């Protein structure tokens, strides 16, 4: 199916987005990472940083990774190597790690994981199942140096960024641990002996990851911005109750919500400006602004609604109270409460400050490039938020599906329909039972339901206790459902569904991630659940926009963790009826070979539409509309 679009509309929409010649790459952990607005209220501060730069000159490539420590990000094939492939001379690299470097077992905090693994081997102890953890005096510094040195080899300018605080209040301050100083409780191996519950005085910063980062910055002569101190001051300005309720996800003292992520990004931008890093391109607005200032939905399917959001923010506004009017063009509806959608809305503010989430619902009935706008006005001040999408018709495809009933142990082979293949694998997990005695699960009005249960496992077959203190996914522990596209057909995934629960605990959490190939690249969290109610089955039914290129593999992974302060056994995640559906197409019939005329003279680039994706050709290189190079 050939798709046609208005070249004029495409140029008008995307020309400003093409001009950012400098890229700011951000690497770090879950407090920085990207999140899908429709799956969780968690927001990494890297999601908002770009709105404080002039987009005509600077774009942000946010590569924060949930659950990553410095070693895992450096060695993971899908992370540091892929970030380096996106870098060009003159770019900038912001480096923020520490949360996972501290380790996720409170009894082993500050201990290098590989050192501990060697200790376990020497003493015939079970090997650690979580590979995270570095020591602030040794390996943490070593990996920061590697990031710096390898960035500089590419002509890229590194900047070290102090990790944001955890909201661990103690009176009118944040605890040492909240500021990433483990001096009150840490572990070490000394003279071949494991020593736990160690401590040093508050004046001793030897177990502070922030101090370690500061030392590396001085040693390597790179800028250091103390976002740790800035967020400490930010949290204290709100006070404990307001800080937790306004800036953080419910029940979570580590991960920010939209307001928190925006304020942290604002603080980071101000610190960069103060340090003279890209200062001429940074704008800290006081008028009402939209963050992000443009929404690129990318590919979407016709008649499948897509939900996005942006923030209306303003500080020191004049007048100090007022009303903001919002309206949306044809294919959009907007809402201020995520429930009632209409083509117009009205928001008010007082006290000289505004912070309002605006939810946008886009629904396209015809294929092709679409350009819509949300308009915001307050007095004489107006803001426009462009919304772009490439809508794809699913007419003419061949239906495909894979279904795992998971009605027995071991997990059975899937029932496959259409020209695909499918497979289930596990890592550091074991299917423990499918036992009629375990018939206490509840699904709506239905009771006495039986399903398979899975447990943490070091050897993949027997039960191993869950580690203490985990607050995020362990990338090595997962249940994996893989779909391979046929050699001559692309597969567009339209549905991912499953029934899932916890057993023996109400503190089981999981991410549902997608990624491609054996190296699990292009990782996206498409769903998240924290603190699942025990034995109550949840129906997860998602409508993603995912394309598996011909011959390639899509992995859908469930990554569970047990968010509890102590080591625990007999805590399970239950699962049944996993279903992945889609449509298969001949790739040769999906795209358009036409190339537009030049956008800005000789080297301004040309727009093309390839397999439903709008790309920019400049010389011998291809870029997405946000400036990322396609390789």
Whether 53 is covered by a domain: the verdict is: yes
- Check whether residue 264 and residue 332 sit in a common domain: no
Let me know whether 408 and 313 are in one domain. no
The pLDDT of residue 143: 98
User: What is the span of the domain harbouring residue 58?
Assistant: 15-281
Average pLDDT on 270-278 reads 97
SS3 track for 172-207: CCECCHHHCECCCCEEEEECCEEEEEECCCCCCCCC
Contact 303, 310 (CB under 8 A): no
pLDDT, mean of residues 280-292:
90
**Number of independent structural domains in the chain:** 4
**What's the rounded mean pLDDT across residues 237-256?**
93
- 337 and 441, same domain (yes or no): no
User: Tell me: the pLDDT tens digits for 449-487?
Assistant: 778 899 999 888 889 999 888 888 998 999 999 999 999
Of 341, 358, 392, the residue that ends a domain is 392
539 and 410 in one domain? yes
> In the chain, what is the greatest distance between 2 CA atoms, to the nearest angstrom?
73
CATH classification at residue 486:
2.60.120
- Confidence at residue 614, expressed as pLDDT on a 0 to 100 scale: 57
Q: Which of 362, 392, 422 is the last residue of a domain?
A: 392
Tens-digit pLDDT profile for residues 346-375? 999 988 889 999 999 999 999 889 999 999
What integer pLDDT is reported at residue 596 of this predicted model?
39
Question: Residue 598 above 50 pLDDT?
Answer: no
The per-residue pLDDT for 470 is 85
The mean per-residue pLDDT over the stretch 424-436 comes to 83
Position 15 scores a pLDDT of: 43
**Mean pLDDT score, 339-345:** 96
CATH at 207: 3.40.50.1110
Last residue of a domain, which of 281, 297, 323? 281
pLDDT in tens, 501-546: 999 999 999 999 999 999 898 888 899 998 999 999 999 999 998 9
Q: Write the burial class of residue 193 (CB in 10 Å: 0-12 exposed, 13-18 middle, 19+ buried).
A: exposed
Beta bridge partners of residue 181, listed in sequence order: 208
- The backbone region for 566, taken as left when phi is positive above 0, alpha when psi lies in -120 to 50, beta otherwise, is beta
Residues 233 and 306 in one domain: no
Same domain, 268 and 408: no
Token pair of 249 as six digits: 């996800």
What pLDDT does residue 222 have? 98
Residue 285's pLDDT band (boundaries 50, 70, 90)? confident
Lowest mean pLDDT among 36-45, 162-171, 277-286: 36-45
163 and 41 assigned to the same domain: yes
Residues 457 and 316 in one domain: no
Domain CATH number, residue 350: 2.60.40.2310
The predicted-structure confidence for 372-401, as pLDDT tens digits, reads as follows 999 999 888 899 999 999 998 888 889 999
Q: Model confidence at 315, in pLDDT bands (50, 70, 90)?
A: confident
Task: Encode 295-305: b = buried (16+ Cβ within 10 Å), e = exposed.
Answer: bbbbbbbeebe
Q: Say what the pLDDT of residue 609 is.
A: 52
Both 151 and 44 in one domain: the answer is yes
pLDDT reading at 232 higher than 70: yes
pLDDT value for 3: 32
Strand residues in 127-259 grouped as ranges (E): 157-161, 186-190, 193-198, 224-225
301 with 431, same domain: the answer is no
Average pLDDT on 476-499 reads 95
The separation between CA 94 and the C-alpha centre of its own chain, rounded to angstroms, equals: 16
Residues 543-560, mean pLDDT to the nearest whole number: 95
| Torsion 146-152-156-159 (CA) sign | positive
Report whether pLDDT(56) > 90. no
3-state class of 243 per DSSP?
helix
Within-domain flag for 8: no
* Distance, first Cα to last Cα, the chain: 25
In a domain, residue 511? The reply is yes
d(CA 529, CA 166): 20
Q: Do 32 and 101 sit in the same domain of this protein?
A: yes
- Judged on CB neighbours under 10 Å (0-12, 13-18, 19+), 148 is buried
Tokens of 466: 């869950």
Determine, yes or no, domain membership for 2.
no
- Name which of 310, 284, 283 is nearest 296 in CA terms: 310
What tokens were used for 205?
Answer: 């910063």
Whole-angstrom distance, CA of residue 565 vs CA of residue 470:
8
Q: Is the peptide bond before 319 cis (omega within 30 degrees of 0)?
A: yes
Rounded Cα–Cα distance for residues 452 and 432 (Å): 7
User: Which tokens is 532 given?
Assistant: 């699942």
Q: Is residue 7 part of a domain?
A: no
pLDDT at 43: 94
Residue 1 lies in a domain: no
The pLDDT mean for the chain works out to 88
Whether 344 and 478 map to the same domain: the answer is no
**Residue 599 pLDDT level (bands cut at 50, 70, 90):** very low
| Residue 6: Cβ within 10 Å count | 12
């Amino acid at each position: 199916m050939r798709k046609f679009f208005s070249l004029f509309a495409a140029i008008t929409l995307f020309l400003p987005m093409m001009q950012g010649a400098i890229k700011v790459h951000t690497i770090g952990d879950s407090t920085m990472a990207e999140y899908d607005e429709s799956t969780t209220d968690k927001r990494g501060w890297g999601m908002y940083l770009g709105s404080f730069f002039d987009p005509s000159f600077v774009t942000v490539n946010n590569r924060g990774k949930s659950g990553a420590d410095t070693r895992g990000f450096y060695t993971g094939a899908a992370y540091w190597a892929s970030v380096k492939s996106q870098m060009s001379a003159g770019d900038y690299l912001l480096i923020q790690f520490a949360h996972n470097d501290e380790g996720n077992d409170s009894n082993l905090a500050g201990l290098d994981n590989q050192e501990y693994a060697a200790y376990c081997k020497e003493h015939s102890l079970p090997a650690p199942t979580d590979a995270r953890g570095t020591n602030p005096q040794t390996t943490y510094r070593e990996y920061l140096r590697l990031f710096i040195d390898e960035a500089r080899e590419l002509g890229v300018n590194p900047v070290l960024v102090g990790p944001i605080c955890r909201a661990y209040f103690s009176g009118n301050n944040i605890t040492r641990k909240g500021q990433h100083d483990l001096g009150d409780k840490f572990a070490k191996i000394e003279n071949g002996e494991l020593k736990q519950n160690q401590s040093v005085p508050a004046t001793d910063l030897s177990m502070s990851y922030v101090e370690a980062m500061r030392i590396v910055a001085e040693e390597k002569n790179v800028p250091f911005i103390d976002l740790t101190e800035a967020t400490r001051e930010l949290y204290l300005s709100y006070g404990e109750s307001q800080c937790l309720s306004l800036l953080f996800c419910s029940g979570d003292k580590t991960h920010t919500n939209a307001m928190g992520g925006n304020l942290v990004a604002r603080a980071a931008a101000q610190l960069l400006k103060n340090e003279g890093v890209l200062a001429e391109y940074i704008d800290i607005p006081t008028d009402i602004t939209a963050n992000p200032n443009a929404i690129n939905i990318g590919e979407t399917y016709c008649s499948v609604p897509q939900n996005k959001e942006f923030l209306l923010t303003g500080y020191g506004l004049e007048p100090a109270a007022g009303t903001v009017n919002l309206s949306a063009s044809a294919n959009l509806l907007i809402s201020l409460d995520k429930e009632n959608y209409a083509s117009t809305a009205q928001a008010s503010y007082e006290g000289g400050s505004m912070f309002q989430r605006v939810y946008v619902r886009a629904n396209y009935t015809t294929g092709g490039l679409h350009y819509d706008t949300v308009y915001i006005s307050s007095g004489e001040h107006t803001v426009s938020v462009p919304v772009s999408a490439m809508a794809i018709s699913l007419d003419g495809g061949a239906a495909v599906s894979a279904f795992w009933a998971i009605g027995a142990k071991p997990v059975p082979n899937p029932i496959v329909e259409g020209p695909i293949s499918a497979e289930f694998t596990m890592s550091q997990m074991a299917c423990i039972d499918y036992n009629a005695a375990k018939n206490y699960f509840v699904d709506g009005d239905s009771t006495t339901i039986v399903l398979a249960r899975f447990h943490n496992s070091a050897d993949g077959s027997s039960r191993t206790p869950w580690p203490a203190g985990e607050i995020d996914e362990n990338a090595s522990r997962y249940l994996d459902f893989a779909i391979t596209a046929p050699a001559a057909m692309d597969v567009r995934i339209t549905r991912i569904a499953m029934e899932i629960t916890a057993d023996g605990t109400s503190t089981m959490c999981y991410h549902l991630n997608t990624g491609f190939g054996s190296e699990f690249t292009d990782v996206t969290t498409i769903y998240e659940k924290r603190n699942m109610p025990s034995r109550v089955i949840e129906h997860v039914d998602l409508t993603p926009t995912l394309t598996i290129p011909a011959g390639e593999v899509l992995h859908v992974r469930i990554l569970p963790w047990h968010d509890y302060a102590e080591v625990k056994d007999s805590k399970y995640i239950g699962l049944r009826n996993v279903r992945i559906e889609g449509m298969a197409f001949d790739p040769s019939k999906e795209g358009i070979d036409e190339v537009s005329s030049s956008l800005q003279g000789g080297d301004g680039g040309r727009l093309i539409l390839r397999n439903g994706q709008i790309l920019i050709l400049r010389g011998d290189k291809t870029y997405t509309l946000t400036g990322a190079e396609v390789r």
